[in-house]
Structure 1
Amino acid sequence: MKFQNMIVLALIAVFISLPCVSAAEKDELTSEQIYEKRMDLYKKVETITNVPWHYLAAVDTYERGLRRARKDRSKEDGFISIYYSEEEWAGTFNPNKEDTHPLSIQMFGGVGLDGDGDGLAERTNDEDVLFTMAHFIEGYGFDEEDFRIALWEKYKRDQSVRIVHGHSLVYEKFDTLDLDEHAFPMPLNYNYSYKNTWGDRRGWGGRRIHEGTDIFAGYNVPIRATAYGRVEIKGWNKYGGWRIGIRDLDNIYHYYAHLSGFEKGIEEGSIVAPGDVIGYCGSSGYGKPGTQGKFPPHLHYGMYRDNGITEWSFDPYPSLKQWERKAYQDRKKKNKGSCKYLR
């Protein structure tokens, strides 16, 4: 064990520590620069521990979403969002909750480790935090099932395991962190209409509120994925009819309901990108499997945020308007660029 620790320390010493960046300096960086910094950290720790970078990125991304959704966690100062409480990091019975000495932290049963070789285990140091998480994952193994077991031991929640594992598969497929693009759920060249219907009353199946926005269109208009993500659910729901649920990298669940059918090849577990066709507009639902036509054809589009404990719906209308405006702007730029070659 001592020999293994010596190897780890030697490997750490080979790498030049990445410079610390203040919150103000981070705010001045472009998203591309931030992704580059994060990837440098993931790759460095991958080299030291052999834990795949997309495992580390998946956990970090999940915890970044938790920070956005929960009031008991502040926004991360650095590039890494993985969170450890003071007691977890320093040890429950450690009288010094801000302890940064690896030996005393270990003595009191804390998890904090020195990841950059400076002799300190700091809860606010990106490399220390990422190395601590990688060391934890490494203890269970390196294949997917080992990773899922490690996630269960970390979060003790099946849904959290599914979400983080899904994130890792998305990163593995696209081999990049730059996956922030979104798309409007219908192509612009089709006739459609919608307004803000989130929170309206619904009566079928019992009194409830409308947890989404209805986009009315003709039968079989293509329905598209709005974000990078993984298909969590596909099939029939008595309220939503033929429906698909996709989890994105912000831990948000995108719910597409009342479809007339699914795109060929889309299954539970499929990885999708913005604009990928996943199904077709219809009027299914409000009854047993196959029920159609109880209302005009439309897409019910819902968004649900997960905070590591529970999940709740929120109004998707502002996001839809934003993605629609961006789609029109992109089309205008594309048409303008094409026209110059016709002059």
Structure 2
Amino acid sequence: MLKLIKLVALLCLLSPSFTYANEKENNPAEQRMTLFKSMEALTQIPWFYLAAIDQYERHIQKEPASKENIAITIPREQWNGASNPNQKDALTVEEVTLFNGIGADGNGDGIADRTNDQDILYAMGSWIGKYGNTHQDIKIALWHYYQRDLSVQTIMNTAKVFDTYNSNELNDHIFPVPLFHNYSYKNTWGDPRGFGGRRIHEGTDIFANYGVPVRATSYGVVEMKGWNKFGGWRIGVRDINNIYHYFAHLNGFEKGVKVGQVVKPGDVIGYVGASGYGPPGTSGKFPPHLHYGMYKDNGYSEWSFDPYPSLKQWERETRKQKNK
């Protein structure tokens, strides 16, 4: 039965409706979607998990991944088997299997090539499938592969977003406050701050009136919600590009917003306030504003970076959309 499923999936890849030459697949994201769904048929791992793994690795590599190709990079020794004396990128399936490598043949040529998109996805899907294909099974498999909680959480959240919108092409952004409200901001990232000890300002302050809606700027999942003595009422969203968006000093949250919720650009998640710099409920120690921070994860550590250029770009893009 498995051989039949694999044959059908391979025929789909080679058929005119699935070929890379198809006009529909001039878009790299659509090319990858075709691969994800064909490998779902082969491995029984839902496409959005494979897409989320690829998306995660696309944003942790030191050198930018090709937009056209699968970004998953399985270490050579893991692919071929650690005790395999032959550590080339492409070996026969028999040789890889002999040394307990996870490399596999996804395109039917008998070769396990760690640079071939179909082989990579089939190998990853098959390895995960040894643990099972339920949500929890896949989560456990990912932990054994990455051995890092944040990596697993990011991939599972991205899979949730892809599944919700049935798409792996979710690149839209929006400015965090509606443009018709009075607001102002400048680049304040890196400025000194004194409350709680000497530290730098890890964000951009957007000044606006109390109660102005605060919106999610990207596709992602609410990862944190509650009180922080520095940020007051704050909410955090992890997007599909391994970036954590931090919204602080809120006056309150939008009704019904909860941790684990999928959000899209423009969804209201809270309201501008002046909370923070003290125990829960402290407010009014500074003018109302939204503190907006961005933190990048590279698979090993997470750090703050200047959100001002992104905000300026999203402001321009939002204004163009408004004027259409």
TM-score per shorter chain, which class? over 0.9
1:251 equivalent in structure 2? 242
C-alpha offsets along residues 296-325 of structure 1, whole Å, 9 cap, x if unaligned?
A: 000000000011111000000000000001
The letter of the residue matching 1:83 is T
**Other-structure match for 2:27:** 33
Displacement of 1:327: 1.2
Paired residue for 2:161? 170
Count of residues in correspondence between the two structures: 319
Question: Displacement, 1:188?
Answer: 0.4
Give the drift of 1:160: 1.1
Residue deviations 1:267-290 (CA, integer Å, cap 9, x gap): 001110001100000000010000
* 2:9 equivalent to 1:15: no
Aligned partners of 2:58 and 2:64 also within 8 Å: no
Whole-Å separation in 2 of the counterparts to 1:257 and 1:51: 38
Question: Retained in 1: the 8 A contact 2:222–2:237?
Answer: yes
Residue in structure 1 matched with residue 71 of structure 2 by the alignment: 81
Give the letter aligned to residue 304 of structure 2: S
Correspondence for 2:53? 59
| Contact persistence 2:80–2:101 (CA under 8 A) | yes
Q: Secondary structure at the match of 1:43?
A: helix
**Aligned-pair distance for 1:78?**
4.3
Residue identity matched to 2:7: A
The letter of the residue matching 2:306 is: D
Shift, 1:8, TM fit? 5.6
| Alignment of 1:94 onto 2:91 | no
Letter of the 1:15 partner, please give it: C
Q: Counterpart of 1:159?
A: 150
The alignment's TM-score, normalised by the length of structure 2, stands at 0.93
Q: Is the 8 A contact 1:78 1:126 kept in 2?
A: no
- CA RMSD after TM alignment: 2.0
TM-score between both structures, scaled by the size of structure 1 = 0.88
Pick from 172, 181, 184: which aligns with 1:181?
A: 172
- Over 3 Å counting, the alpha-carbon distance change for 1:293 and 1:31 in structure 2 is farther
Alpha-carbon distance between aligned partners in 2 of 1:181 and 1:126, rounded to the nearest angstrom = 26
Q: Does 1:147 align with 2:138?
A: yes
The SS at the match of 2:170 is: coil
Quote the residue 2:102 is aligned against: 111
Q: Aligned partner of 1:211: which letter?
A: E
Check if 1:222 corresponds to 2:213: yes
Aligned residues of 2:28 and 2:67 also touching (Cα < 8 A): no
In structure 1, C-alpha distance between the alignment counterparts of 2:80 and 2:9, rounded to whole Å: 22
**Is the 8 Å Cα contact of residues 247 and 292 (structure 2) preserved in structure 1?**
yes
Deviation at 1:76, TM superposition (A): 3.8
From 183, 198, 202, the counterpart of 2:189: 198
What runs of 5+ residues in structure 2 fail to find an aligned partner? none
Residues of 2 paired with 1:203 and 1:193: CA distance?
23
Q: CA shift at 1:330, angstroms? A: 1.8
Would the aligned equivalents of 2:105 and 2:112 in 1 still touch at CA under 8 Å?
yes
Deviation at 1:7, TM superposition (A): 4.4
Q: Is the 8 A contact 1:12 1:115 kept in 2?
A: no
Which of 252, 261, 279 is matched with 2:252 structurally? 261
Q: Report the CA distance between 1:252 and its aligned residue.
A: 0.2
SS in 1 for 2:270: strand
8 Å Cα contact 1:251-1:306 kept in structure 2: yes
Q: What does 1:218-297 align with in structure 2 at a 5 Å threshold? A: 218-297=209-288
- 1:90 partner letter: N
The alpha-carbon deviation at position 13 of structure 1 amounts to 4.5
Amino acid at match of 1:266: V
Distance 1:11 1:158, change over 3 A: same
* More off after superposition, 77-86 vs 138-147: 77-86
- The residue type equivalent to 2:37 in the other structure is K
Residues 204-246 of structure 1 deviation map (CA, whole Å, 9 limit, x = unaligned): 1011111000000110000000000000000000100000000
Deviation at 1:95, TM superposition (A): 2.2
> 2:300 aligned with 1:309, yes or no?
yes
Deviation at 1:11, TM superposition (A): 4.0
Indicate conservation of the 8 Å contact 2:93/2:103, yes or no.
Answer: yes
**Pairing 1:49–2:43 present:** yes
Contact 2:251 2:271 in 1 (8 A): yes
| 3-state DSSP of counterpart to 1:324 | helix
